[in-house]
Amino acid sequence: MATALRLSLCGLILALPLTAAAWCEAPKKLEPVAADDFRTGLARWRLEAEDARAVVTAEGGVLDIATPAGLSLWWREPLSGDYAIRFTALALPAPASAGPHAGRLSDLNMFWNALEADGSAPYPRSGKFAGYDTLPTYYAGFGANANTTMRLRWYTGIERRLLTGYADGAIAEPGEQPMTPQTRLHAGQALTVEIISRQPTAADPVHLRWRAGSNELFTRSDPNPRLHGYFAFRTTASRLQIRDFQILQCR
């Protein structure tokens, strides 16, 4: 069964070729600078888990996260310059340990360009979501709140500021758009996610792009963007599988 699932995923992965990066302007080129093929454990990551029953493994080419509560997994290396983060993600039903949330699809989330208010690396936290409220960072929640929202936020270190998003019905905040099939997780469907962070230019003021497959769901042109810091996967009461994690720079 597991073998059949792996084979079916290969046909679903939507790859983004290195040459198809309009934001990386010639004569610069987009080049891989770091990666994790998830075959040698979690040495390059730092885990923060709210519940000791969380299980996180990196073997056989798959980062497998199964957690009943809040969890963050930090890439240990800081990121800067014009860069892109790419990975392939698969959402599966949350584990039985998630109790009333078992079986749900939810929370393929991430922090990036995170730094403490004094400019230092993020200090260790418990894994509870509220613990990150004081951490200046960008945050995207894909299929969050049991697959009913997709939001882009800026954490100022004082407040979690909603920049833009999608939400179902009564939980929608002012200015949010309705959810669509492109903004939801789908069980058993692998998807390539790309986050782009770059210095804005006069010709292209967009400094942040967030893509899932062929869909560019978020862009930002902020006057004072944050362009360096740390990246983390963030989730809660969920099961996620991540493959082919890589960081590329335009240089």
Asked if 84 contacts 247 with a C-beta cutoff of 8 angstroms, the reply is: yes
Over residues 179-190, the mean pLDDT reads: 96
Over residues 175-202, the mean pLDDT reads: 96
Name beta bridge partners: 240.
Answer: 65, 91
pLDDT reading at 13 higher than 90: no
* Mean pLDDT, the chain, integer: 92
Query: Three-state DSSP class for 7?
Result: helix
**How many Å apart are CA 41 and CA 63, to the nearest integer?**
9
Tell me: the pLDDT tens digits for 53-74? 999 999 999 999 999 999 999 9
Q: What is the pLDDT of residue 18?
A: 38
**How many Å apart are CA 147 and CA 149, to the nearest integer?**
6
pLDDT reading at 43 higher than 80: yes
List all residues 6 or more positions away from 179 whose beta carbon is below 8 Å from its beta carbon.
148, 149, 150, 166, 167, 168
- Total residues belonging to the chain: 251
Measure CA 22 to chain center: 21
- Cis peptide leading into 27, omega within 30 of 0? yes
pLDDT reading at 233 higher than 70: yes
Asked if 190 contacts 183 with a C-beta cutoff of 8 angstroms, the reply is: no
Among 11-20, 33-42, 166-175, the range scoring the smallest mean pLDDT is: 11-20
> Would the pTM count as exceeding 0.85?
yes
Tell me: the pLDDT tens digits for 119-145? 999 999 999 999 999 999 999 999 999
List all residues 6 or more positions away from 154 whose beta carbon is below 8 Å from its beta carbon.
137, 138, 139, 160, 161, 163, 222
CB atoms within 10 A of CB 225: 18
Among 14-23, 52-61, 135-144, 193-202, the range scoring the smallest mean pLDDT is: 14-23
Q: What is the pLDDT of residue 21?
A: 62
Q: What is the pLDDT of residue 26?
A: 86
Of residues 201 and 236, which shows the higher confidence score?
236
Q: Catalogue all structural domains in the chain, each as residue range(s) with its CATH number.
A: 2-250 (2.60.120.200)
Over residues 105-130, the mean pLDDT reads: 98
**How many Å apart are CA 130 and CA 204, to the nearest integer?**
35
Q: What is the pLDDT of residue 88?
A: 98
Beta strand 160-167 with 149-155 is antiparallel
pLDDT reading at 1 higher than 70: no
Of 106, 90, 64, the closest CA to residue 9 belongs to 90
Q: What is the pLDDT of residue 104?
A: 97
List all residues 6 or more positions away from 43 whose beta carbon is below 8 Å from its beta carbon.
none
